[in-house]
């Protein structure tokens, strides 16, 4: 059973993680992820000013969390507004404006905290915890405040989900629909400021930007749709913050804020490798599978063309109406012929032959020769047909020289869909008596007029 304080911290960080993940998704797609960084650093002087003002007015109440968060919010908004004003002047670039405002406000905040530390009650104020975070110091009242703010932020995101979605992907379209684009943008920025301010208590202003950027970036590797991406980002943020809080509770010598960010970074690394939509491992696997498939189809096409060169024309004519190809299974194919036809290395040919046998497209005789199976014959004929159709298109409509067309066709033939193949046939007005066109390299009838 978790201790009471641990449950308090766990609930507060969980709400913060979910909230920051959802809001960060919109800011990431809006390409304003670093606005959170500016807001977090710009909040520091507001904390110092709020403490000094309240302590001078009501001695002993200077470290009241609501007042400190209110001061941080005002200061963060000022920082974001200053950044926007500098950008509108168009005298410096966006990254320079962000850096200037961030440095200016953070420097002012450090100066104000130094002034606070010189006060009699300054050493007990604990304002330094806002820089690096101190989740263990949260109370039930603090968690209630975080929960209320998180609930409001999430509710706004839910109500305006459609508007924020269009704003992120097509601002001009949103304006054409008559939506208040500028006000929506300001509201989204205000949500980022709110998440930044409520997150300072747990992870600190230096690290809260990680909660706005890392979870949605990790979610991007799992989905290309905004709805699932926002849900995944909220889940990654919630799991990372709660896991970091539990680890910090188990290891008291480790601060919760850095541990939370490290767990977030670990989730990003896992997503980067194994994300189902964009993960590098699956991309590598798909590329490897596509490359192997391309090599297998090239091998089958080489087998068909090798038989085409040996057999008579009548033996190779296919029925254009039924798309049935002649029976090519009895004819042997030698590995040396394939090596010479494609200029492949013997090792590559041997590897492709083994994979084609495993797929059931080729079979090997006892004398070492190979023969196409029925399925291999059909697939080889289709590969040859697609390749030659695309060659003819390139010659007639893309002004590609016939001596270069084979190389150009190799780049696209493996992704031709049946519908596109039918369109090519209609466009080229191919000889309907043949299911498989003759090679344009060997048949003058298919050469582009005037090409000689």
Q: Check whether residue 253 and residue 332 sit in a common domain.
A: no
Tokens read off for 216: 């949605």
Is residue 147 assigned to a domain? yes
Is the CB of residue 353 less than 8 Å from the CB of residue 362?
yes
Q: By residue range, what is the domain housing residue 368?
A: 286-446
Q: Check whether residue 240 and residue 322 sit in a common domain.
A: no
- How far is the C-alpha of 271 from the C-alpha of 253, rounded, in Å? 29
- How far is the C-alpha of 130 from the C-alpha of 138, rounded, in Å? 12
Tokens read off for 237: 């943020």
Q: Check whether residue 376 and residue 403 sit in a common domain.
A: yes
Q: Check whether residue 105 and residue 45 sit in a common domain.
A: yes
Q: What are 183-219's pLDDT values in tens digits?
A: 888 888 888 888 888 877 677 777 788 888 999 999 9
The pLDDT mean for the chain works out to: 79
Question: In which residue ranges of the chain is pLDDT below 50?
Answer: 320-322, 405, 407-409, 411, 433, 444-452
| Total structural domains within the chain | 2
> How high is the pLDDT of residue 129?
67
> How high is the pLDDT of residue 405?
47
- How far is the C-alpha of 72 from the C-alpha of 60, rounded, in Å? 19
Residues 6+ apart with CB under 8 A from 23: 153, 157, 188, 191, 192, 195, 212
Is residue 227 assigned to a domain? yes
- How far is the C-alpha of 60 from the C-alpha of 16, rounded, in Å? 29
Is residue 332 assigned to a domain? yes
Q: Check whether residue 39 and residue 128 sit in a common domain.
A: yes
Is residue 182 assigned to a domain? yes
Is residue 451 assigned to a domain? no
Residues 6+ apart with CB under 8 A from 81: none
> How high is the pLDDT of residue 409?
46
CATH code where residue 391 lies:
1.10.10.10
Q: Check whether residue 300 and residue 203 sit in a common domain.
A: no
Q: Which residue has the tokens 């747990």?
A: 202
Q: Check whether residue 51 and residue 158 sit in a common domain.
A: yes
Burial code (b: 16+ CB inside 10 Å, e: under 16) for 19-52 equals bbbbbbbbbbbbebbbbbbbbbbbbbbbbbbbbb
CATH code where residue 43 lies:
1.10.3470.10
Is residue 237 assigned to a domain? yes
Is the CB of residue 238 less than 8 Å from the CB of residue 18?
yes
Q: Check whether residue 151 and residue 19 sit in a common domain.
A: yes
């Amino acid at each position: 059973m978790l201790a009471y304080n641990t449950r308090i911290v766990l609930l507060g960080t969980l709400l913060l993680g979910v909230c920051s993940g959802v809001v960060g998704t919109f800011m990431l797609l809006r390409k304003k992820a670093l606005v959170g960084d500016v807001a977090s650093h710009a909040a520091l002087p507001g904390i110092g000013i709020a403490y000094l003002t309240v302590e001078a007015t009501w001695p002993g109440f200077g470290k009241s969390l609501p007042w400190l968060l209110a001061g941080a919010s005002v200061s963060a908004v000022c920082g974001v507004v200053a950044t926007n004003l500098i950008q509108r002047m168009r005298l410096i670039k966006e990254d320079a404006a962000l850096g200037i405002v961030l440095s200016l406000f953070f420097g002012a905040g450090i100066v104000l905290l130094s002034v606070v530390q010189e006060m009699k009650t300054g050493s007990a104020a604990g304002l330094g915890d806002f820089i690096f975070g101190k989740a263990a110091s949260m109370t039930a009242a603090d968690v209630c405040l975080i929960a209320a703010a998180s609930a409001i932020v999430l509710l706004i995101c839910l109500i305006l989900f459609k508007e924020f979605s269009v704003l992120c992907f097509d601002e001009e379209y949103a304006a054409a629909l008559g939506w208040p684009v500028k006000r929506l943008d300001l509201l989204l920025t205000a949500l980022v400021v709110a998440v930044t301010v409520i997150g300072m208590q747990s992870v600190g202003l230096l690290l809260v930007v990680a909660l706005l950027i890392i979870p949605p970036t990790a979610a991007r590797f799992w989905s290309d749709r905004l709805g699932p991406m926002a849900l995944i980002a909220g889940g990654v943020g919630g799991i990372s913050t709660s896991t970091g809080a539990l680890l910090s509770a188990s290891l008291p010598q480790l601060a919760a804020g850095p541990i939370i960010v490290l767990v977030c970074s670990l989730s990003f690394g896992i997503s980067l490798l194994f994300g189902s939509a964009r993960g590098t491992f699956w991309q590598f696997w798909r590329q490897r599978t596509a490359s192997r498939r391309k090599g297998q189809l090239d091998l089958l096409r080489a087998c068909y063309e090798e038989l085409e060169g040996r057999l008579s024309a009548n033996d190779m004519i296919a029925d254009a109406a039924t798309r049935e190809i002649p029976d090519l299974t009895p004819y042997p194919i030698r590995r040396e012929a394939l090596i010479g036809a494609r200029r492949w290395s013997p090792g590559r040919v041997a590897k492709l032959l083994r994979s084609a046998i495993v797929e059931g497209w080729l079979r090997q005789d006892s004398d070492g020769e190979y023969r196409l199976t029925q399925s291999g014959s059909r697939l080889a004929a289709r590969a040859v047909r697609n390749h030659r159709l695309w060659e003819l298109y390139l010659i007639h409509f893309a002004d590609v020289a016939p001596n270069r067309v084979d190389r150009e066709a190799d780049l696209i033939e493996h992704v031709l869909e049946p519908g596109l193949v039918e369109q090519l046939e209609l466009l080229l007005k191919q000889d309907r008596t043949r299911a498989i066109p003759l090679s344009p390299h060997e048949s003058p009838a298919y050469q582009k007029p005037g090409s000689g």
